[in-house]
Amino acid sequence: MDHTDNSVMPHSPTAEFPFAVGDVVLAEWDEGKVYYAKIQDIHLNKHTCELMFDDDSVEEAPFSAVHSVSETTNEIVCIICKSGISDFPNEIVLCDKCGLGEYNLL
């Protein structure tokens, strides 16, 4: 893969940014809301990355707003509706393979 912009190169996880292109992450956005996104490109010189969200929109985010899906958070959220309400019998369950949450009875 040939990139003309040296700031957008294939990236291996480092201490500075422990994610790679294709990783699914949590992106902290307006008013502290968190959304699932997939890393499309990484711009080391700007300390930002391009994220694709589940509605296919692509936004640039600073490294500081990108978090691991497996990070300990205050709540688990549904990837579809972004709600953290998890009441019986329709509890949010996590996929064993990817770690993303979804309601049990969708």
List pLDDT tens digits, range 24-70.
888 988 777 788 899 999 999 999 999 999 889 999 999 999 988 76
Q: pTM to 2 decimals? A: 0.61
Looking at residue 11, its pLDDT comes to 62
pLDDT at residue 71, as a whole number: 61
Fold of 1-69: SH3 type barrels. (2.30.30)
Print the SS3 string covering the chain.
CCCCCCCCCCCCCCCCCCCCCCCEEEEECHHHCEEEEEEEEEECCCCEEEEEECCCCEEEEEHHHEEECCCCCCCCCCCCCCCCCCECCECEEECCCCCCEEECCC
* Range in 23-32, 36-45, 85-94, 96-105 with the lowest mean pLDDT: 96-105
**What pLDDT sits at residue 5?**
45
Could you check whether 1-69 and 74-106 share the same CATH topology?
no
Is residue 101 pLDDT above 80, yes or no? no
| pLDDT recorded at residue 42 | 94
Enumerate the domain spans of the chain: 1-69, 74-106
Per CATH, which fold does 74-106 belong to? Herpes Virus-1 (3.30.40)
